Structure 1
Amino acid sequence: MKAKRRSSAEWWAWCGEFDEVSRCAPLPPVFVVLDLETTGLRCSHHEIIEMAAIKVEVGKDRHAAFHSLVVPSKRVSARITQLTGLNRDMLVRDGKALAAVVPSFLSFCEKLPLVAFNAPFDRMFIEAACERLGHTAPSASRWKCALQLARRAWPYRKSHKLTSLAADAGLSIAGAHRALVDCQNTAHIFALATRVLTGA
């Protein structure tokens, strides 16, 4: 099912909720939470079909966001469409070429710390895209993994899937597996896990 587009009121409500969580957590003052949707797991064969990021400024009640669909060169499997709600027709109609999206994405991220839920996965695809397009990829030292933090913060959980963590934290999982929704939930889990691990 296609993710519901958030209204301005819903977006700023999310910002307010995140500020409540982040206020007590010792987070970087500014960082970028990012998420990709892809056609599969291998960057050598599969493609990015959606990129999203939120530039979080701790203590502020508004956070800039980046979002773009990406036109794939190959088909999108039924499994990926079922998972994300994205199909090739939609991506061709509403998306942009990867060559146009990546430089805008890198510019949005600046030189800030990057947070992703499964950071090695997103990093792998971004590095492959940068290499293919002739851009400098973000350095390894900039990446932080919210999944790794969650496993340390809650080691006895049966599941550390983002949807499971988000649901148990009382977050909405409507539109899960769409990049911007996953960014929002990743930001919350990153802040909560940081607070647990630091005792803040």
Structure 2
Amino acid sequence: MEPVSESVVDPDMEELFRLFLDEAAEGGGGTSNIQIMNFPTPGFGPTPGFRPSKQPFHYWIRDTRQKAFYLRDNRLVAANLQGENASQEEKVSVVPNRGLERKRCPLILGIKGGKQGLSCGTAKQPQLQLEDVQLTELFDKYEEAKRFTFFKTYNGSTHRFEAAAYPGWFLCTSAQANEPIGLTARPGEAAITDFYFKRK
């Protein structure tokens, strides 16, 4: 049996995980330096290796029919946005979830620059909804972050996003335009679960 690699399989994710996870672990002792790095002592210059608060990475996301995400009545909807409507497209913001297996590429997803999270809710069956949260604050809240976390798989051209709190449920769009983005337990059937995902 081959050893399991702890690296992120998707090369585009390596920088994100290195920035948030590897550098947070520097300094030894098994404790995170995130709070220290975010709040330097007043009156003192930055210490060597100091970075300002880490920010989410932002991505364009489209389903395989080139439908983009946009907000309508505070719900994420997918449509082919062209011309003047192209400015309505919502970019997806991501930070890693450091409480889950790194090799599964666990991403906390949100919009509005990381000020709203894509939540699967807490009911018996998941329901995609938007919640006002800061993605960077969820980075340090393992249990709370789980409902906002999706395991991203990558097959070389498209990506799938499986809900961490609801195994077997995937982010999806409808085959029809202007329908809300949701979750499905039947990937590859009527709903579209494969996405193009490109860093902005």
- TM-score scaled by structure 2? 0.24
Larger of the two Rg values belongs to structure: 2
- The structure showing larger relative contact order (alpha-carbon pairs under 8 Å, at least 6 residues apart) is 1
Richer in helix (by share) = 1
